[in-house]
Amino acid sequence: MRPDSDLRQRSEIEASALPPLLARAEHLAGTVLLGDHGRRRAGLGDDFWQYRPAQIGDSRRLIDHRRSARGDMQFVREREWQIAQSVMMWVDQGASMRFTSDTSPKTALPEKIDRARLLGLATSVLLIRGGERVGLTGTSLPPRRGNMQIRRLAEFFTIDDDTDYAPPEHRAMIPHARAVFLSDFLGDMTEVRLALTKAADRGVRGVLLQVLDPSEEMFPFHGRTIFESVGGTMRHETLKAGDLRARYQERLAARKDELMGLCRATGWQFGTHHTGESAQSALLWLYRALDGGTS
Amino acid sequence: MTVIAGIGFSAPWLLLALLALPILWIILRAVPPAPIRRRFPGVALLLGLSDEDTVTDRTPWWLLLLRILAVAAVIVGLAGPVLNPQRDAGGSGPLLILLDGTWAGATRWSDKQDLVAVQLAEAGRANRPVAILRLSDPEAPSFQAADAWQARIAGLRPMPYAPTETQIDSVLATFDAASGFDTHWISDGLDYAGRDRVRAALQAKGDLRVYQTGSAVIGLAPAVFEDGAVTLTARRSVPGAARDVVILAQGRDPAGIERTLATATATFDAGEREAQVALSLPSELRARVTRFEVQGQNSAGATSLADDSLRRREVALISGRDDREGLQLLSPLHYLNQALMPSAELLNGALIDLLPANPDAVVLADVATLSDAEAESLAAWVEEGGLLLRFAGPRLAASDISREDEDPLMPVRLRAGGRSVGGAMSWGEPKGLAPFAEGSPFYGLSIPEDVTVNAQVMAQPDPTLADRVIASLADGTPLVTRKALGQGQVVLFHVTANAEWSTLPLSGLFVEMLERLAVSSTAGAPTAVDLEGTTWEPVQVLDAYGALEDAGTRPGVAGPDLAEAPLGPDLAPGIYDSGDRRLARNVIGAETALTPASWPEDVPVEGLGTIGEKPLGGILLTLALAMLAADILASLALSGRLRGQRAATAAAILLALGLLPHPGQAQVVNDEAAALLATEELVLAHVITGDAQVDELAQAGLSGLGDVLRYRTSVEPGEPMAVNLETDELAFFPMLYWPVTPDQPIPSAEAYARLNTYLRSGGLIVFDTRDADVAGFGASSPNGRRLQQLAAPLDIPPLEPVPHDHVLTRTFYLLQDFPGRYAGRDVWVEAAPPDAEQVDGMPFRNLNDGVTPVIIGGNDWAGAWAVDASGRAMLPVGRGFAGERQRELANRFGVNLVMHVLTGNYKSDQVHVPALLDRLGQ
């Protein structure tokens, strides 16, 4: 069994609990890619909407002769106006995400990267099932539809990145699309700030979900300790880890505040998820965040 | 040795290291524990945070205290602390530790060993050379380092006697040769001859110090049987306060188990040195007593062995003339009664009634004829060890008994009539007795002048006569003759038991002769004169602790020595045996007094009490180790490494230290697994011979045979198994293939018992000597000889070569012969019953019912069957196609063999099938 198929299977299980997710399509104009979102009105689209009597000004080419031949009136076939939302995912594949504080068999916590991928792919499954186009930020996997795309996403999610704190990928953002960023956001903030500003400039709105291990929140350490990043690039030695707890938690809160402020400024939404909690709640939150306002 | 607060230190300067402890305190508290490396992504947020207090993570005070204490324990432990250190007694130069080493010290011997150990330790610290000498077992003193002696303390044992004069002489001689030395004399508290000489010699050599216990030595004099009670006398060396001693009579109960038969309490009155108690015992019980001992005193002196003197022999007296009215002095039994009354229990009555009482001796005074029943039971009784003592008399002389042929109950043949000398109607003087010859039991008895013989019965000269005479007259005619009959003996006095024919019954010699013949036993201890001329073999000897041990090869002792000579290396106390008599030599004789050893004023005398030194170094070092182990756990706990799983692991390790795996369990499981393996399928088995190549070939052969069976028949055997006859259960296997090698070990008796059970319950063993190419059947080859040895203890019926109509020839294939790798010789199976006949119309006889228990051959069948893992034959058979044909026949024999084992004579019963079908058809 290939590794991605397992991730795919679990993602499908998570996603099956929620109704298809409809991304909010706010900005119609300028969207070059047509989607399936019926606007309940005639317009550009593939699906049949209604026949209406031909009016003056209609081009003759528009007349549907099969319908018109039944009677004396001439009908024009109208199609439903449809639009598909493009959603771009960014899941932090960096080394810092490959961390869990508890590996004992009974109470084992998943690695952060595992949870982030699961959430990312589950969201993708929901979106694709709802007819959205889902892709990755950057140029590697542009948004597409269909089950094949889920599979491609799953494949991309198995590629580990050895960078310690991976910067968010913000290139080639499609204007007015939606974006989902999953990371622990413990790395350098300038990249995140840059990415969000850039996204806001292009009218992209989205969700930031910070995935944290419980130990990163609680800081349950004592005694003389050398802390090392997972990639090994950073280290910090302390003689009394217990004393650092308060200050660490202050810094973490400050980081969250900063992220939240950033989101508020750019119209994004910010959430925090701990690997100790269930993935379902996080997926529900993501669903509501992406779906916000449409239902 | 420096003593600080009652504890001595062998290296006191080391204690100065304790001063360094406060410095250690400062160092230890400054050093933080080793850091833990921890992967933590949140480190990005930690960057730049500095510790508020650089030495905040200080070792907690109690951990510091633990470490300091551990270090202190190491320092103090290495300083060599000793509890109860012995103060130096002073002195230098060589030291002689002298022990009496007699039985008197045996009761408290361990105290003396402790004392020796203490003195050795002391001398070792003072670097004095030491020699240890036991006066009772002297060797030339060799001065060695004290350590060399320490190991030999356990080997110092007391001897069951006091030092003899010769021993003391030899010791004094060695003292003369040695230069000056000091002496510590550990005395047992009893005086003995020559002790003063030793003391004088030692005082001349150097300082003498005596260690002696103040308590009394208690001895037990030999038991005396008087007035129907056993009188026991206990003695003590020091008169003191009133004291009770319990005397135990030990002996075997009817089941033969040694136990206490009776107890008596003797009381020493204050100031008295002797205590007596009379113990009244039934004679049956008294005869069983083997020894008396003083409770709580395990020394040879406090043990008194019982011998014949306590044992009253039962003598049945039978006379032929008891119905005659006559004068009492003429009664043939009168003198015997007189002689035996003091020392034996006399039984009177009819012979046939007395024999069941199993008397020790039966005396027939002038009894000529016995009824057949009497003679028979008397002979049987004598053969079981009885002593039959016969006296002659007119009746015997007149009868024809033992005239022509020797009567079994007479030692010699008798001439008709007898003779009378020196009487009123005959010529010649009455005859005196000749001195007793050396081989005679009477040897050494002195013959009074006034013993004369007037008349006697005469023995016929026979070739055996000379051997049977044990006393004769001055002219050489036999007076007493004796012969052995079974385990007992028959003795004939050729004179009467009264004074009619001789004056012998009137003399003291008569009683002594009866004693020597063990008809009676002496009351009281025998004197040297009594035992003149006898030799006594030691049966069991006492050690100093009063325990009996086998005498082994100790030489015999002359009678007078046994009675009188002082005990020594050549004469150990114990039980001595001469013929039917049994004598005990005790440490304390009837007259032996226990004299305490007294020392002149200038000799310092100390008690034995010692408080053993107790080195504390080992305990302290162990304590330090334990504290360091606790420190490890505490440090781990402090640094956060002893949490959750690690704590469980640590606890598991600690537990595992105390719990050792139990090896017995696995064996049972293995046995069960093997039994399951052997019984889940049909399994062919071969016996392990010990020759790896043969075993491997047998395994391969059986596996090849298994393949053949699987292809051709419905028998589908599993993987063959190797069977160890000593350990494995055989019942699971229908047949055993047993290749014979010339050097395989013979199984044990237990293994043969199980093999026989296996054969009787229907098992089959195929013996294969594998030498048909070179040898015929029989003992001609080494394998054949080994086979004979192997099979000898087996329960094997008569054998014959396989007859042409044996069921083995047709259980599956029709076979004429049974080749293996060799197409050699006959194959032997259980012989057909002799009455087996061929019935008309039947192609073969109706032979044995059941399976033959053994098949013996030498064709190396396993070699022909053997295949390797890929199914190819391992060994060549014959040449070319003929060889392959032979292998095929060998395989067919294997199939027939297994079929025979599994179906028995089923194929023989097949001859009835036509008849059965015929009957069914009607």
CA distance B659 to chain A (A): 27
Q: Which of B29, B37, B43 to mutate to test the interface with A (most CBs of A within 10 A)?
A: B43
Phi-psi region of A171 (alpha: psi -120 to 50; beta: other; left: phi over 0): beta
Pair B806, B847: CB distance under 8 Å: yes
Same domain assignment for residues A118 and A253: yes
Same domain assignment for residues A180 and A77: no
Kindly state whether B31 is in contact with chain A, defined as any CB-CB distance less than 8 angstroms.
Answer: no
- Amino acid identity at B554: R
Residue B864 has pLDDT above 50, yes or no: yes
At A23, the pLDDT band (50, 70, 90 cuts) reads: very low
Residue A31 has pLDDT above 50, yes or no: no
Kindly state whether A248 is in contact with chain B, defined as any CB-CB distance less than 8 angstroms.
Answer: yes
Nearest to B51 among A213, A230, A243 (CB): A243
According to DSSP H, which parts of B79-194 are helical?
A: 109-125, 146-150, 165-177
Note the pLDDT tens digit of each residue in B833-848. 776 666 666 666 666 5
Note the pLDDT tens digit of each residue in B587-609. 887 777 788 888 888 777 777 66
Kindly state whether B638 is in contact with chain A, defined as any CB-CB distance less than 8 angstroms.
Answer: yes
**Cross-chain residue pair A255–B41, CB shorter than 8 Å:** no
Residue A294 has pLDDT above 50, yes or no: no
Kindly state whether A167 is in contact with chain B, defined as any CB-CB distance less than 8 angstroms.
Answer: no
Nearest to B38 among A104, A225, A234 (CB): A225
Kindly state whether B762 is in contact with chain A, defined as any CB-CB distance less than 8 angstroms.
Answer: no
Task: Round to whole Å and give the CA distance between B566 and B572.
Answer: 9
Give how many domains chain A has, as a whole number: 2
**Cross-chain residue pair B645–A104, CB shorter than 8 Å:** yes
Taking CA A125 as the corner, what is the angle to CA A123 and CA A129, rounded to the nearest 5 degrees? Answer: 120
SS3 annotation, B50-102: CCCCCCCCCCCHHHHHHHHHHHHHHHHHHCCEEECCCCCCCCCCCEEEEECCC
Beta bridge partners of B537: B577
Task: Round to whole Å and give the CA distance between B609 and B363.
Answer: 62
Same domain assignment for residues A197 and A283: yes
Same domain assignment for residues A176 and A271: yes
Query: Which whole-number Å values give the CA distances from B269 to B234, B245, B265, B325, B767, in the listed order?
Result: 12, 11, 13, 57, 83
Task: Round to whole Å and give the CA distance between A210 and B133.
Answer: 94
CA distance A196 to chain B (A): 21
For A228, nearest residue in chain B (alpha carbons): B39
Nearest to B44 among A186, A213, A222 (CB): A186
Task: Round to whole Å and give the CA distance between B399 and B395.
Answer: 6
Kindly state whether A52 is in contact with chain B, defined as any CB-CB distance less than 8 angstroms.
Answer: no
CA distance A282 to chain B (A): 21
Q: What is the pTM of this model?
A: 0.43
Kindly state whether A80 is in contact with chain B, defined as any CB-CB distance less than 8 angstroms.
Answer: no
Domain ranges for chain B: 95-216+596-612, 218-312+540-595, 314-516, 670-912
Kindly state whether B110 is in contact with chain A, defined as any CB-CB distance less than 8 angstroms.
Answer: no
Note the pLDDT tens digit of each residue in B479-533. 899 888 888 888 998 888 888 888 888 888 888 888 887 766 555 566 777 777 7
Kindly state whether B647 is in contact with chain A, defined as any CB-CB distance less than 8 angstroms.
Answer: no
The domain made up of B314-516 has a fold known as Rossmann fold (3.40.50)
At A261, the pLDDT band (50, 70, 90 cuts) reads: very high
At A25, the pLDDT band (50, 70, 90 cuts) reads: very low
- CATH code for residues B95-216+596-612: 3.40.50.410
Residue B828, Cβ neighbours under 10 Å: how many?
Answer: 19
Tell me, rounded to whole angstroms, the distance of Cα B721 from its chain centroid.
41
Q: What is the DSSP string of B829-857?
A: EEPPPTT--PPTT-SS----SS--SEEEE
Task: For A12-28, give one letter per residue: b (16+ CB within 10 A) or e.
Answer: eebbeebeebbbebeee
Note the pLDDT tens digit of each residue in B649-677. 666 666 655 444 444 344 444 677 778 87
Residue B781 has pLDDT above 80, yes or no: no
B-chain CB neighbours of A165 within 8 Å are 44
Same domain assignment for residues A266 and A239: yes
**Cross-chain residue pair B47–A234, CB shorter than 8 Å:** yes
A-chain CB neighbours of B53 within 8 Å are 240, 243
Phi-psi region of B75 (alpha: psi -120 to 50; beta: other; left: phi over 0): alpha
Task: Round to whole Å and give the CA distance between B234 and B273.
Answer: 8
Q: Which of A210, A236, A245 to mutate to test the interface with B (most CBs of B within 10 A)?
A: A236
Same domain assignment for residues A120 and A158: yes
Listed residue (B552, B549, B547, B542) closest to B584, CA to CA? B542
Encoding tokens for residue B487?
Answer: 């385990």
Same domain assignment for residues A68 and A92: no
CA distance B72 to chain A (A): 28
Same domain assignment for residues A125 and A240: yes
B-chain CB neighbours of A240 within 8 Å are 51, 53, 56-57
Nearest to B38 among A96, A227, A243 (CB): A227
- Amino acid identity at B209: R
DSSP letter assigned to residue B910? G
CA distance B679 to chain A (A): 41
Query: Which whole-number Å values give the CA distances from B886 to A167, B189, B283, B818, B823, in the listed order?
Result: 84, 93, 85, 9, 8
**Cross-chain residue pair B55–A222, CB shorter than 8 Å:** no
Query: Which whole-number Å values give the CA distances from B260 to A137, B226, B250, B308, B665, in the listed order?
Result: 105, 22, 4, 19, 44
Pairing of strands B130-134, B95-99: parallel
Task: Round to whole Å and give the CA distance between B345 and B519.
Answer: 11
A-chain CB neighbours of B42 within 8 Å are 186, 216, 219, 227, 248, 252
**Maximum mean pLDDT: which of A65-79, B20-34, B43-57:** A65-79
Which residue range forms the structural domain that includes residue A287? 3-29+84-291
Task: Round to whole Å and give the CA distance between B212 and B201.
Answer: 19
**Cross-chain residue pair B51–A228, CB shorter than 8 Å:** no
Pair A85, A178: CB distance under 8 Å: yes
Looking at residues B673-701, what average pLDDT do you find? 86
Looking at residues B911-915, what average pLDDT do you find? 77
Same domain assignment for residues A45 and A134: no
Task: For B165-194, give one letter per residue: b (16+ CB within 10 A) or e.
Answer: eebbeebbeebeeeeebbbbbbbbbbbbeb
- Report the residue count for chain B: 922
Residue B778 has pLDDT above 60, yes or no: no
Q: What is the DSSP string of B331-388?
A: -TTHHHHHHHTTTEEEEES-HHHHGGG--SEEEEES-----HHHHHHHHHHHHTT-EE
Residue A253 has pLDDT above 90, yes or no: yes
**Cross-chain residue pair B41–A96, CB shorter than 8 Å:** yes
**Cross-chain residue pair B38–A237, CB shorter than 8 Å:** no
Indicate the angle between helix axes A241-266 and A189-201, nearest 10 degrees.
Answer: 10
Pair B105, B141: CB distance under 8 Å: no
**Cross-chain residue pair A226–B36, CB shorter than 8 Å:** yes
Query: Which whole-number Å values give the CA distances from A130 to A37, A80, A182, B321, in the listed order?
Result: 9, 17, 21, 143
Whether the predicted interface score ipTM is above 0.85: no
3-state SS class at A61: helix
Assess whether the region B95-216+596-612 and the region B314-516 belong to the same CATH fold. Answer: yes
Same domain assignment for residues A126 and A200: yes
Encoding tokens for residue B830?
Answer: 């259980």
- CATH code for residues B670-912: 3.40.50.12140
We report the CATH number of the domain holding residue A200 as: 3.40.50
Encoding tokens for residue B439?
Answer: 């081989």
H or E stretch covering B133 = strand B130-134
Query: Which whole-number Å values give the CA distances from B247 to B286, B312, B874, in the listed order?
Result: 15, 22, 82
pLDDT at B52: 65
* Least trusted range by pLDDT, from A101-115, B497-511, B845-859: B845-859
Task: Round to whole Å and give the CA distance between A275 and A273.
Answer: 7
Same domain assignment for residues A210 and A71: no
Same domain assignment for residues A62 and A185: no
Kindly state whether A226 is in contact with chain B, defined as any CB-CB distance less than 8 angstroms.
Answer: yes
**Cross-chain residue pair A236–B49, CB shorter than 8 Å:** yes
* Least trusted range by pLDDT, from A79-93, B467-481, B837-851: B837-851
Query: Which whole-number Å values give the CA distances from B195 to B178, B192, B600, in the listed order?
Result: 19, 6, 12
Kindly state whether B782 is in contact with chain A, defined as any CB-CB distance less than 8 angstroms.
Answer: no
Encoding tokens for residue B859?
Answer: 């064709």
Note the pLDDT tens digit of each residue in B79-128. 877 776 665 556 677 888 888 888 888 887 888 888 888 888 888 877 88
* Least trusted range by pLDDT, from B165-174, B214-223, B420-429, B670-679: B420-429
Note the pLDDT tens digit of each residue in B202-227. 888 888 888 887 778 888 888 877 77
Query: Which whole-number Å values give the CA distances from A52 to A41, A58, A61, A62, A77, in the listed order?
Result: 13, 11, 14, 11, 7
Kindly state whether A184 is in contact with chain B, defined as any CB-CB distance less than 8 angstroms.
Answer: yes
Q: Which residue has the tokens 């009957």?
A: B919
A-chain CB neighbours of B52 within 8 Å are 243
Listed residue (B866, B880, B776, B778) closest to B824, CA to CA? B776
